[in-house]
Amino acid sequence: MFIDKYMSKDVVTVGQDFGILEARELMVKHRIRHLPVVEADNTLIGIVSDRDMRSIMPSQLLATQEYEKEKGLIMDVKVRDVMTKNPVTISPMDTLEDALLLMQKMRVGAFPVVDSQKKLQGIVSIRDLMRTFINMLGIEEPGTLLCILAENKQGTMKKIVDAITEEKVSFGSILVARHWEEGKRAFFPYLLTNNVAPIKRKLRELGFTLLDPLEWCLDLTPKSEE
């Protein structure tokens, strides 16, 4: 799952000599939160975010006269004055998982995608990742998420899948997460039905523990369902 298949390729960009107010108008017009800054040959040199804009724009709480005065003071401010230079980037051949982990680590909402020559190829945002994973997980279709605690050994997932499919229920997806108990894993099947009572009963009869997925947390032990 390489980034070049999921990134936004039709990217709105600006040059470093672009006026900051003009840049802000572009962001509002296109409903975007990040503007890559490029040279004439499309080489990436920076990025401007909506946070950068908020830090320099006068407060909306000011009186009209004072607001216009403050706005006039930034008329000559250029993108180069507020952009993040040499931003963190990713390659078109990085994976979705790479992008997600890097976003978590860097605490940013988007990465420019550049080739080996630093030429801008696209941009990938947390919105792109969310849309992709929603499609992959099939959660746009009505259904129910279960959380099953089971032993981490070969054949466990097959046993769970067989038990569910025997009830003639289709899967939207199934995820597996680590668990703090040694030798355990948590399985999260998303089932395309709201009638899961028979399935829960069957899974318990097979010896599985059902957890409340809404209380799931990697740092706190969730409560078992009664």
State how far the Cα of 15 lies from the Cα of 210, in Å rounded to an integer: 55
Domain ranges of the chain: 3-134, 138-215
- Check residue 88 and give its pLDDT: 93
Strand (E) or helix (H) holding 52 = helix 50-56
What single DSSP character describes residue 35? E
Fold type of domain 138-215 = Alpha-Beta Plaits (3.30.70)
Helix (H) or strand (E) holding 45: strand 44-49
Q: Does domain 3-134 have CATH number 3.10.580.10?
A: yes
Mean pLDDT, the chain, integer: 86
Q: What confidence tier does 199 reach under pLDDT thresholds 50, 70, 90? A: very high
In contact, 35 and 14? CB cutoff 8 Å? yes
Average pLDDT of the residues in 46-55? 88
Res 44 pLDDT > 50: yes
